[in-house]
């Protein structure tokens, strides 16, 4: 969901630049912060649907980043598998971002219900 007004001449945007230049820890922190920001202000600035679309875009791009880094570091594969499980479970339960307060609670809820 790259907006044309934010694109560089080569078709990249700020997220692409961060992915290319930040350390993995810095990039993950930036993505976690930004996703959290949109969740925290859900419906307060823009329409809920627009805020959710932004969250979805950041999560998708973060996931793509992790897939690339998983090939460089095999222990990241487990994180990607967990991410797929968590997102799949949340979608099946039609959870909203406000249903779970923190990522840790979300992860615990999914792990506790994974086999059900």
Contact 39, 97 (CB under 8 A): yes
* Residue with tokens 């979805």, as numbered in its chain: 56
Q: In this predicted structure, what is the pLDDT of residue 19?
A: 93
Cβ count near 19 (within 10 Å): 19
List the pLDDT tens digit at each of the 116 positions of the chain: 777 787 888 888 899 999 999 988 899 889 989 888 888 888 898 898 888 888 888 988 988 888 777 655 555 555 656 666 666 656 655 555 555 555 556 555 555 554 44
DSSP type of residue 47 = -
Asked if residues 63 and 80 have their Cβ atoms less than 8 Å apart, the reply is yes
């Amino acid at each position: 969901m790259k907006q044309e007004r934010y694109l560089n001449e080569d078709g990249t945007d700020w997220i692409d630049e961060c992915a290319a230049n930040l350390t993995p820890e810095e990039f993950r922190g930036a993505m976690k912060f930004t996703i959290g920001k949109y969740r925290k202000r859900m419906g307060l600035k823009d329409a809920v649907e627009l805020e959710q679309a932004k969250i979805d875009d950041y999560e998708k791009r973060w996931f793509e980043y992790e897939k690339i880094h998983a090939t460089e570091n095999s222990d990241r594969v487990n994180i990607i598998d967990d991410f797929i499980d968590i997102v799949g479970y949340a979608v099946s339960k039609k959870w909203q971002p406000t249903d779970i307060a923190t990522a840790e609670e979300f992860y615990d809820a999914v792990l506790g219900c994974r086999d059900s």
